[in-house]
Amino acid sequence: METPILSVNEVSRHFGSGESRVDALKAAQFEVKAGELVALIGPSGSGKSTLLSIAGALLRPSSGEVILGGEHIAEMKGTQRTRLRLERIGFIFQASNLVSYLTGADQVQLIGKLLGLPDKEVKERAARLLDELGMDKRANHYPEQLSGGERQRIAIARALMNQPDLILADEPTASLDSQRGRQVVELLADEVHRRGTAGILVTHDERLIDVCDRVLRISDGEVTEA
């Protein structure tokens, strides 16, 4: 049986204590396999962001374990978690989070430079990703010169630059119209399938879930398979 890339086992997270305690996540249990894009659906305040932050080694769970590629990431120290995020996780955010003074090519190359890759490999890998995502002719443009969909394509290329085991996409279509939003998710799904990466897509848009391989729903911190 195939070993999942990501395993979330009985993961809970609470904030505060006593009467002010809030249980943001309650014994979440699921797996994501290689080449699988999983949609995570739920209303605002349901625990989606908390779960994504824990899966991305940005936040520690209060209990339970998170295993990424065989490593127990919840037990890692700060520097280990920082390195893990850089080397093995790709993040795509709602607002693309591009650096205003960097061109598209520079945005993608920056990850390779942080990884310490040779300059030639950085440029070749970035150029290949931009070409594959249809952004080669826009690579020398700055974010303000790009459409919302183009910015998200750059963000996807940036997320793939470290050849991650896991891609976490947090509402990447929220600022796009329905057509461009669907194009971005289809593109993300294609990349996940082709590269054998595990992916989690947080979205409010039920119209996009048919693009994903599985759907998880979260309500009041409880995760269920749809």
DSSP 87-134: HHEEEE-TTTT--TTS-HHHHHHHHHHHHT--HHHHHHHHHHHHHHTT
The share of the chain scoring above pLDDT 90, in percent, equals: 71
What would the mean pLDDT of 118-125 be, rounded to a whole number? 95
Q: Which of 8-17, 106-115, 174-183, 206-215 has the lowest mean pLDDT?
A: 174-183
Q: For residue 1, is pLDDT > 80? A: no
**What is the reported pLDDT for 75?**
84
How many structural domains does the chain have?
Answer: 1
Domain presence at residue 203: yes
Domain presence at residue 119: yes
Give residue-wise pLDDT tens across range 183-216. 889 989 998 999 999 999 998 888 889 999 999 9
Tokens for 118?
């040779």
**What is the reported pLDDT for 25?**
93
For residue 117, the enclosing domain spans 6-225
Domain presence at residue 20: yes
Domain presence at residue 121: yes
What would the mean pLDDT of 110-136 be, rounded to a whole number? 93
The share of the chain scoring above pLDDT 70, in percent, equals: 100
Domain presence at residue 70: yes
In degrees rounded to 5, what are phi and psi of residue 184?
-65, -45
**What is the reported pLDDT for 184?**
85
What would the mean pLDDT of 174-184 be, rounded to a whole number? 84
Domain presence at residue 1: no
Q: Helix, strand, coil proportions of the chain in percent (round to 5)?
A: 40, 25, 30
Which pTM value belongs to this model? 0.90
Query: pLDDT class for 180, splitting at 50, 70, 90?
Result: confident
The CATH number of the domain holding residue 162 is 3.40.50.300
